[in-house]
Amino acid sequence: DRMFCILPFEVDFYEGKHNYPIDYVGNPTVAEVDSFLAFHDPADALSDKPVIALLPGSRRQEIKDNLPAMLEAASAYSDRYAVMVAGAPGIEPDYYHRVMGGAGRSVDIIHGQTYRLLACASAAVVTSGTATLETALFGVPQVVCYKTPLPRLVSFLRRRFLKVKYVSLVNLICGSEVVRELVASSFSVANIRAGLGGILPGGDEAGRMKEDYRELRRRLGTGDAADNAARLIACRVAKK
């Protein structure tokens, strides 16, 4: 008879539009990131060079579709930056090597240490999903991308039928284009490379994006989602 949610924009959708009782209890990713940062040694770097992090998703098809373009785009900056890939749990290193081919010879795959990678990254290219939120909470400027089949058709359908402007959690939560989204017909190596250039240190977008991340944190709040949900459940049970 009641719903608890972990994304603040869901309240307006369920309660505001459909009169369904719902409470926003906070987002558990906030506590997870803050807990990591509280015990993380800032000197624990993965490279002597500044780092560009590539987060190509957690599913094989996502990795296959997105990683080659990410890698090609980031290679333009490999003389100044170490390009590193966040390896997803359950995906063996050999799969990444097959997808990357010869272009991946100088790229490190960081398995099971995505937070450590983000903690030292100067910028990131991220496949749309929860990772976009995690990247923002680490304060890392990012370009969000997602390759789709039939990109022109998908872009047309998005414009005509979708009621939301954005696909990334960061933009959906803030209600504005905080991070650049390269999806469907806008997904290309050239666009990713240009977007990345704008968010690297000294780029036009880096400082503005970090400022907008503060609004993201404000909207998400700092309360512990599990504790808040348990408290609300206990209160409802006690009233009954």
Which of the pair, 62 or 148, is modelled with greater confidence? 62
**pLDDT tier, 106 (very low <50, low <70, confident <90, very high otherwise):** confident
Give the pair of three-digit tokens for residue 210.
Answer: 């970090």
**Amino acid (one-letter) located at 227:** D
Compute the C-alpha angle 120/126/132, nearest 5°: 85
The Cα–Cα gap between 97 and 105 comes to 8
End-to-end CA distance of the chain: 13
Whether residue 159 has pLDDT greater than 80: no
At residue 234, the pLDDT reads 94
The Cα–Cα gap between 123 and 135 comes to 9
The Cα–Cα gap between 198 and 182 comes to 14
What is the pTM assigned to this prediction? 0.91
At residue 156, the pLDDT reads 58
Per residue in 184-204, pLDDT (tens digit) is 889 999 999 999 999 999 888
The Cα–Cα gap between 52 and 40 comes to 19
At residue 157, the pLDDT reads 59
The pairing of beta strand 51-55 with beta strand 121-127: parallel
Rg (CA), the chain: 19
Residue found by looking up tokens 């000197």 in the block:
43
Domains of the chain, each with CATH number or no CATH: 46-165+180-201 (3.40.50.2000)
Q: Is 210 helix (H, G, I), strand (E, B) or coil?
A: helix
Highest mean pLDDT among 43-47, 129-133, 236-240: 129-133
Per residue in 122-150, pLDDT (tens digit) is 999 999 889 999 999 999 999 999 987 65
Per residue in 28-42, pLDDT (tens digit) is 999 999 999 999 998
At residue 68, the pLDDT reads 94
The Cα–Cα gap between 92 and 90 comes to 6
- Segment 84-99 shows an average pLDDT of 92
Residues 155, 187 contacting (CB under 8 angstroms): no
Give the pair of three-digit tokens for residue 99.
Answer: 């997808």
